A and B are shown apart, each in its own frame.
Chain A
């Protein structure tokens, strides 16, 4: 409704949709297509893929025809590489430590690393927050809701 087309960024946007659409349609051709009366599992993926690719072309096309000022930047004005890394790192550590260590190390590491991503955070403030959340999480999820997630693998707590 309030279509404001920023020029260059929409090329990426359209291109991405085109790529996803073509990819989906190509993968879909691997399944049985069938006929209209008796559709196979491949019918929807192919049709939707083609529609998405077409929409991608339209998005890029309308950007081409628009006279709105250039916005070439994909990254925000102040990219937060470290912050992003921390947010991705938290769940990764949660998976690894949860699989091999247990709930306590997983939760502590996840919150600690995520908290470090903030510009004003220190090791100390992050550790305090992580410890607090861990205690709260263990009480709520282990003792009150009793989800099957050992506190520390190898120890019978």
Chain B
């Protein structure tokens, strides 16, 4: 088994190192790193804008580039957190706690150096996990009938909505809303137009780009306009020579890095728990087992190494359920799944065998991309720091232009721009009512497939709902759903200690208006 994996990986490197693919991978991580550094731009909005531009491309370079944006943004996000105390990217919010005090002590460069090492270690482990686990999962998943697929999607939807930030009830409501938005358009079996209100443009359904850019673009800009803090650049002076950590620092952060990596890869396997949860959990754990917990929050290098390693290993591991089962774990993955579908690739267990070039090419490109990011970040740190000083008042109008033209370019249709604007206004109202937009996208992407499989499984069982419980794998997934719901009720009735601790850490993290960006 190991030898086949290595042969496949070798093939993957062949795909990823083709000059054309390599160029797009580089472009992806570069753009990702850029938006990661820029406060107020997130990977979701960026991938949505780039998506229509990939329509004319081959699927392999398109997917390599879009994925590159996602993990590239994680490298950039850490710079923002450590040097400016701005948690622009939720997974790195917890890095502010110890990263910024280190910066104030003049050790910001060391923190960044440790971050890059931790990122590379975490990412490498996540990729290795994917190489060995994904083919194994595929073997299991090939046994799945429509009933199993249905129950598995239910786990994904439920986990995605209840484990995310905010009230679980509201999360579930958003998922259901997303499922309803996914219904808009012609019914796959009968062709009956649903929720189209006589608008012909809606017969093909709501455009995924319009939904993503409305919710994560326009709604977000409405939320942060004239509401952003002025950036404090006093401490943000870092040169290359500052970035090499001392032996003592390396020794101190070695084990936290390993622990963070393991925790992150574990979180990646549970659907719905993305990098944000992984980083918070690992920070809390590290603080708990440390011999000197009082140092945390005052510039402990372990408090940077552990969550960063955990974030990156979780980000790479996130691709496992998406690529092998076709069930995305979070918003970005939902978007990438949408991108695969647009490029005519059916996500699911058959992807690895039918599109080996995409799967193994993607894995190989992760490694190449991570090496490129390390190269990008060490010598060019000065440039990234300079970018931090671009004020928001220049950023958001430019971003609005990209939103408009990106949506237009998807279909060459002005109607989509209006649709995005409409979704954006609704999205802002939902944000004001404390609804988080991430589950909508998850529900939207999974909705049509959920309905199709639900219908099919009941057709096979002649309308007997027991089919979901009688089939053992399906029953197991439903059992997980039940556990998730019971756990939520338990947490709601009596807040256990671990949640209280996590909340305490969250309360320390500086709040910015654009911390909502996924």
Contacts and interface: CB of A to CB of B under 8 A. Distances in A.
A121 B459 CA distance: 61
A22 interface: no
B414 A51 contact: no
Contact of B488 (A1, A56, A126): A1
B293 interface: no
A102 interface: no
A126 B459 CA distance: 59
Contact of B491 (A1, A28, A58, A75): A1
Nearest to B53: A145
Interface in A31-71: 31-32, 35-41, 43-45, 48-49, 51-52, 55-56, 58-59, 62
Given A5-B167, A13-B433, A41 B192 contact: yes
B491 A111 contact: no
A36 B458 contact: yes
A36 B434 contact: no
Given A45-B183, A55-B172, A110-B400, A37 B177 contact: no
Contacts of A12: 433
Contacts of A75: 432
Contacts of A21: 176
A105 interface: no
B433 A41 contact: no
Query: Which of B163, B168, B179, B404 has the most C-beta atoms of chain A within 10 angstroms of its own C-beta?
Result: B404
B14 interface: no
A124 B481 CA distance: 57
B194 A41 contact: yes
A36 B462 CA distance: 8
A104 interface: no
A74 B163 contact: no
Nearest to A9: B433
A36 to B, nearest CB: 4
Interface in B144-198: 162-163, 165-170, 172-173, 176-177, 179-180, 183, 187, 189-190, 192, 194-195
Contact of B195 (A2, A45, A58, A107): A45
Interface string B96-135: 0000000000000000000000000000000000000000
A75 B222 CA distance: 12
B195 A24 contact: yes
Interface residues of A, number: 77
Interface in B369-414: 392-394, 396-398, 400-401, 403-405, 408-409, 412, 414
B485 to A, nearest CB: 13
A2 B166 contact: yes
Query: Which of B412, B417, B465, B499 has the most C-beta atoms of chain A within 10 angstroms of its own C-beta?
Result: B417
Contacts of B403: 91
Given A37-B461, A114-B397, A117-B226, 10 more contacts: A1-B162, A20-B180, A24-B180, A36-B458, A38-B463, A41-B187, A80-B226, A91-B420, A130-B397, A147-B405
Interface of B: 53, 162-163, 165-170, 172-173, 176-177, 179-180, 183, 187, 189-190, 192, 194-195, 218, 221-222, 225-227, 392-394, 396-398, 400-401, 403-405, 408-409, 412, 414, 417-418, 420-421, 425, 428-429, 432-435, 451, 454-455, 458-459, 461-465, 488, 491-492, 499, 502-503, 506
Across the A-B interface, the 10 shortest Cβ-Cβ residue pairs:
A37-B463, A36-B463, A41-B187, A83-B225, A118-B393, A115-B397, A114-B397, A13-B433, A41-B192, A3-B167
18 contacts: A2-B166, A3-B168, A4-B167, A13-B433, A17-B177, A24-B195, A32-B192, A44-B451, A45-B183, A56-B173, A59-B170, A62-B169, A78-B227, A110-B400, A110-B404, A111-B400, A119-B226, A149-B408
